[in-house]
């Protein structure tokens, strides 16, 4: 048994999976937009100060990168805090368009039309 446990221990190197950081269960990329789920209520009292600041900030939708920059919280930490807030149903994670499936082509075309309007 101890043999098996040791083998397993040597096989599973957590940072191999996580890339050295805590990978959130939610698709939180730098560009992913976040909104406070219910902006009309005050943040729960048991939250960490950083999480509370995120909830207040995201009453207006912004990206993970913007949250990190505005609150001066490193990206990795921001992602973990957001993941926890999402688990508690306190934030809404918006869809992110990657263009990797043909079903998203319509959105890419919309993006192109947007660019054409802005940059003639």
Partner 1 sequence: MVSNDSSSDTFSKMSTKIVIAGGFGAGKTTLVGSVSEIEPVTTEAVMTEASVVHDDTTAVPQKVTTTVAMDFGRITLDEELILYMFGTPGQARFWFMWDDLVRGAVGAVVVVDPRRLADCFDAIDYFEQQQRIPYIVALNKFDGQLNYTGEEIREALEISDNVPIIDFDARDRSSAGHVLKELLVHALANSGSQSELVG
Residues lying near partner 1 in the complex (CB under 8 A) are found at 13, 15-16, 18-21, 27, 29-33, 35, 38, 40, 61, 63, 65-66, 68-69, 74-77, 92, 94-102, 104-105, 107-116, 118-120
Q: Which two tokens stand for residue 91?
A: 């934030």
Q: Tokens 């269960």 sit at which residue?
A: 25
**Contact indicator for 91, 83 with CB cutoff of 8 Å:** no
Task: Kindly state the smallest distance separating residue 80's Cβ from partner 1, in Å.
Answer: 12
Task: Kindly state the smallest distance separating residue 38's Cβ from partner 1, in Å.
Answer: 7
Q: Which is nearer to partner 1, 1 or 12 (CB)?
A: 12
**Contact indicator for 75, 64 with CB cutoff of 8 Å:** yes
Q: Which is nearer to partner 1, 16 or 46 (CB)?
A: 16
Task: Kindly state the smallest distance separating residue 41's Cβ from partner 1, in Å.
Answer: 10
Task: Kindly state the smallest distance separating residue 58's Cβ from partner 1, in Å.
Answer: 10
CA separation for the pair 84, 52 (Å, rounded): 12
CA separation for the pair 63, 29 (Å, rounded): 9
Q: Which two tokens stand for residue 54?
A: 């995120």
């Amino acid at each position: 048994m101890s043999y098996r446990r040791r083998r397993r221990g040597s096989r599973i190197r957590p940072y191999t999976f996580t890339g050295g950081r805590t990978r959130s269960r939610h698709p939180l990329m730098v560009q992913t937009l976040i909104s406070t789920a219910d902006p009309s209520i005050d943040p729960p009292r048991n939250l960490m100060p950083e999480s509370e600041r995120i909830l207040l900030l995201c009453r207006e939708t912004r990206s993970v990168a913007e949250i990190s920059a505005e609150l001066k919280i490193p990206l990795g930490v921001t992602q973990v805090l957001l993941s926890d807030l999402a688990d508690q149903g306190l934030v809404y994670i918006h869809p992110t368009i990657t263009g990797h499936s043909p079903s998203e082509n319509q959105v890419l075309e919309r993006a192109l039309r947007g660019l054409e309007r802005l940059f003639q």
